[in-house]
């Protein structure tokens, strides 16, 4: 049984000087962590830089401005030319990334085929997560 859905794509990073830099990005969804999505950015200096946030935030961001914390997502345009804007931020700074919206929508569709929204809690292995948490607390 498939337990993850991944996809490689290029995101465009808008630099402070207005340059557009292509950032190879892996989209990763695992059924073992059904509420989260991971974006793994290829950084020439640090290797893979992961960013983890809620799958429902990304899905909502394909339709309207979503997120009021360290990740904001919103669509721009229509049809094949539509873009998805992603604005992750941290104490170290923020980035403004764009990528084709249809590619994100197709990938999200695959994640919902693996674990439908109504079944996320069933797929969440709470006992394992709790054991890992308690092991770390001792």
What pTM was computed for the model?
A: 0.82
- Of the candidate ranges 15-24, 26-35, 95-104, 115-124, the one whose mean pLDDT is the lowest: 115-124
Supply φ then ψ for residue 27, to 5 degrees: -95, 130
| Domain that residue 9 falls in | 4-137
Question: Whole-number mean pLDDT of the chain?
Answer: 88
Total of domains in the chain: 1
> Residues 56-107: pLDDT tens digits?
999 999 999 999 889 999 999 999 999 999 999 988 888 899 999 999 999 9
* CB proximity list for 100: less than 8 A, separation 6 or greater: 9, 80, 82, 83, 84
Q: According to the model, what pLDDT value does residue 22 have?
A: 93
CATH number at residue 78: 2.30.31.20
């Amino acid at each position: 049984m498939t337990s993850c859905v991944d996809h490689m794509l290029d995101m465009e990073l808008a630099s402070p000087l207005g340059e557009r830099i292509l950032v190879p990005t892996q989209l990763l969804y695992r059924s073992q962590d059904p509420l989260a999505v991971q974006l793994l950015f290829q950084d020439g200096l640090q290797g893979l830089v992961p960013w983890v946030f809620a799958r429902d935030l990304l899905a909502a961001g394909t339709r309207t401005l979503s997120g009021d914390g360290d990740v904001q997502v919103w669509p721009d345009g229509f049809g094949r030319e539509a873009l998805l804007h992603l604005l992750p931020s941290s104490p170290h700074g923020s980035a403004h990334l764009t990528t084709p919206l249809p590619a994100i929508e197709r990938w999200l569709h695959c994640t919902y085929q693996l674990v439908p929204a109504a079944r996320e809690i069933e797929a969440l292995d709470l006992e394992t997560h709790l054991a890992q948490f308690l092991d770390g607390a001792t």
